[in-house]
Amino acid sequence: MSAPPKNDTAPKPANFLRTLIEREVQDGVYAQRHWGGTPGDGAHHAAGPADPAQVRLRFPPEPNGYLHIGHAKSICLNFGLARDFGGVCHLRFDDTNPEAEEQEYVDAIVEMVQWLGWSWDVGGTSHLYYASNYFDFMYRAAEHLIEAGLAYVDEQSADQMRANRGDFITPGTNSPWRERSVADNLARFREMRDGQHADGSMVLRAKIDMASPNINLRDPALYRIKRAHHHNTGDKWCIYPMYAYAHPIEDALENITHSICTLEFEDQRPWYDWLLNKLADGGLLNRPLPKQHEFGRLNLSYVVTSKRKLRALVDEHIVEGWDDPRMPTLAGLRRRGYTPAAVRKMAEDTGASKTNAWIDYGVLEGAVRGDLEAQAPRAMAVIDPVPLKLGNWAELFGAAHREPCSAPAHPQHPELGQRQFSLGPEVWIERDDFAETPPKGFFRLFPGNKVRLKYGMVVECTGCEKDADGRVVAVLANVVPDTKSGTPGADAVKVKGTITWVGVHDGVAATINLYDRLFTEAQPDAGGRDFREVLNPSSKRVVQGYVEPALAALPADVRFQFERHGYFVTDRIDHRAEAPVFNRITGLRDSWAK
């Protein structure tokens, strides 16, 4: 596993969580905690040494789908804060719901958190945990709440319970089962556990306040009966904890200090504190208890991040799979060619705030351009090829002559050396680098004009060849003698245009996937709109182009800047050394900016 990304020293954008943790660490708020070496109850931790981690955070995905760019924000926030404050970040699978959770997703999540560069291995200890391993404690904690008079078994139907919950203006109504005895509650709860009652026939609820202005405190459900096979615990349980009950306990057992979640959980915070304090009062947990902090979720323009909508894109074959390079899943971004560093930078640059902000997609593109500009080797590629025939080549040099040319692999990295290719009597150029009748300000090929073939020679356009439909099938030009780049005569002829090209004799044919945004609207699902109505019809175009000979026999997953075109990567899945496939990561500049 790779080392966690280094914390650079550049000033960090506004992030209230960073400020808060900094102050708490200074004040020693969490300094007295002990750590039992593994997750466990209060006694387990008390028996261990002082917690070597200053703070503990966690990324707690439910393994019911693929990670997307919003999750990356949360991953980088939690792992980044742990790194910066001498802490540890746990990867915890929140797998308390027996349905919908699958090993396939567990594996994919592990792979993508590692891809982003983060590690949960600290000093030889793996902090990868499964919430389902805490079912025994959760059960014990529930019995404790019953014994303390803080929970009861409710036999109302789901409809009755809903009707009696009240709403924002109406207080709730107490359940007729609310005042049954501790002994009765304990007996019923054990019967629930032992499979003596039907699914959905009763639930365990906390006993707090049915008139609370916070609906989450109106006797929330803790356990339900559900005969379902669990991927980790098998058929051991037929009762499962509710998410709201399980999550605070998971945090406490793992000695988490800062439980960071998105804003929609703000109203759950009083419940989170209520539950953990009751369990600490009962001696099951130690103080200081974890605290929940909410931040605004990441919304990226031109992207949908709801798992349900992403699933629809896959199931309806609007895209070609979870890792389709147009998908905002991390698997999709990786295949598209985004670098982990770019995703981390986007997460860092967008800080953390108390509002759900929309971030422009250009921020992510800018991050990948910034990363690749500095490191991606350069190459020439022709994406919409038309041949350029050099009429006087044979006369000047002999038909078989090939003029060797070279260019730096990267203009700022001379140590990367030169790439070699050659000029011959026929080269591929971009179709739109020729105009029979040039529009105003057009400096490239048109009859009578001179341009430089980059790193090669100056040519003068003489016309073109067309097919019966009037479509240009070849552009014609003559070489201007003694104008080779890097020779004394190179500057003797002044030209206004320079074009990129690839030799017909040595160019490598390649499939090039030109990806663009999946949606034409910045907020595809705004105002309840069906995102299917605003699909970008040209989000994927596949073309046959040519690349420099140096790009023959490449491995998968290598990135280049194709001069004038943007950044490209060899596809992780479809690329073959003998049949290259490139994906466009992004253009050289933001073509969507207004």
Q: Angle at Cα 32 formed by Cα 30 and Cα 34, nearest 5°?
A: 100
Closest distance between ligand ATP and the C-beta of residue 59, in Å? 6
Assess 305 for contact with ligand ATP (CB under 6 A).
yes
Amino acid at 291: K
What is the bridge-based pairing of β-strands 472-479 and 497-499?
A: unpaired
Asked if 60 is part of the footprint of ligand ATP (rule: CB under 6 A), the reply reads: yes
**Selected binder of ligand ATP within 51, 53, 57, 74 (CB under 6 A):** 74
**Candidates 300-308, 366-374, 420-428, 532-540; binding stretch for ligand ATP (CB under 6 A):** 300-308
For ligand ATP, the binding residue among 56, 71, 90, 419 (CB under 6 A) is 71
Q: Which is nearer to ligand ATP, 110 or 493 (CB)?
A: 110
- Distances in Å between the Cα of 102 and the Cα atoms of 109, 235, 250, 290, 334 are 11, 16, 20, 28, 22
Minimum CB separation of residue 124 from ligand ATP in Å reads: 27
Query: CB within 8 A of 355, min separation 6: which ones?
Result: 263, 296
Query: CA-to-CA distance for 215 and 171, rounded, in angstroms?
Result: 9
By CB under 6 A, tell whether 329 contacts ligand ATP. no
* 56 interacts with ligand ATP by CB under 6 A: no
Instruction: Tell me the DSSP string of 563-588.
Output: TTTEEEEE-TTT-BTTB-EEEEEE-S
Supply the Cα-derived Rg of the chain in whole angstroms: 31
- Say how far apart CA 52 and CA 57 lie, in whole Å: 14
Contacts of 452 (CB under 8 A, 6+ apart): 458, 459, 483, 485, 495, 497, 498, 499
- Of 13-21, 66-74, 425-433, 538-546, which part binds ligand ATP (CB under 6 A)? 66-74
Cα(579)–Cα(583) distance, rounded to whole angstroms? 13
- Among 298, 347, 407, 445, which residue interacts with ligand ATP (rule: CB under 6 A)? 298
Helix, strand, or coil here: 199? coil
Q: Cα(17)–Cα(25) distance, rounded to whole angstroms? A: 12
E strand spans, 480-575: 497-499, 502-503, 508-515, 540-547, 559-562, 566-570
**According to the binding rule CB under 6 A, does residue 262 interact with ligand ATP?**
yes
- Per-residue binder mask for ligand ATP (CB under 6 A), 233-252, x = binder: --------------------
| Strand ranges, E, within 403-471 | 403-408, 418-423, 426-430, 450-453, 458-466
3-class SS letters over 251-314: HHHCCCCEEEEEHHHHHHHHHHHHHHHHHHHCCCCCCCCCEEEEECCCEECCCCCCHHHHHHHH
Is 426 a binding residue for ligand ATP by CB under 6 A? The answer is no
Exactly one of 2, 181, 306, 591 binds ligand ATP (CB under 6 A); that residue is 306
- Span from 34-42, 135-143, 303-311, 313-321 in contact with ligand ATP (CB under 6 A): 303-311
Q: Shortest distance, CB of residue 279 to ligand ATP, whole angstroms?
A: 22
Helix (H, G, I), strand (E, B) or coil at 169: coil
Tokens of residue 525, six digits:
């699902």
To the nearest whole angstrom, how small is the minimum distance from the Cβ of residue 264 to ligand ATP?
8
Identify the burial level of 45 via C-beta atoms within 10 angstroms of its C-beta, where 0-12 means exposed, 13-18 middle and 19 or more buried. buried
Among 190, 197, 297, 564, binds ligand ATP (CB under 6 A): 297
**Number of residues in contact with ligand ATP, rule: CB under 6 A?**
14
For ligand ATP, the closer of residues 109 and 386 by Cβ is 109
My answer on whether omega of the bond before 288 falls inside 30° of 0, hence cis, is: yes
Output 70 or 172, the one with its CB closest to ligand ATP.
70
Q: What is the DSSP letter of 296?
A: P
Please name which of 170, 169, 189 lies closest in space to residue 180, comparing C-alpha atoms: 189
Q: Of the ranges 305-313, 442-450, 468-476, 586-594, which one interacts with ligand ATP (CB under 6 A)?
A: 305-313
Of residues 344 through 373, those in contact with ligand ATP by CB under 6 A are none
By CB under 6 A, tell whether 131 contacts ligand ATP. Answer: no
- The residues carrying an active-site annotation are 62, 297, 307
Our CB check for ligand ATP shows the closer of 60 and 545 to be 60
What residue is closest to ligand ATP based on CB? 70
The piece of 56-64, 234-242, 329-337, 441-449 that touches ligand ATP (CB under 6 A) is 56-64
Which of 18, 44, 73, 90 is close enough to bind ligand ATP by CB under 6 A? Answer: 73
Residue 62 is a binding residue for ligand ATP (CB under 6 A): yes
Instruction: Give whichever of 70 and 549 is closer to ligand ATP, judged by the CB atom.
Output: 70
Query: Which residue from 12, 34, 190, 307 is in contact with ligand ATP, where contact means CB under 6 A?
Result: 307
| Residue 305 to residue 264: CA distance in whole angstroms | 15
Binding flag, residue 82, ligand ATP (CB under 6 A): no
User: Which positions touch ligand ATP (CB under 6 A)?
Assistant: 60-62, 70-71, 73-74, 261-262, 297-298, 305-307
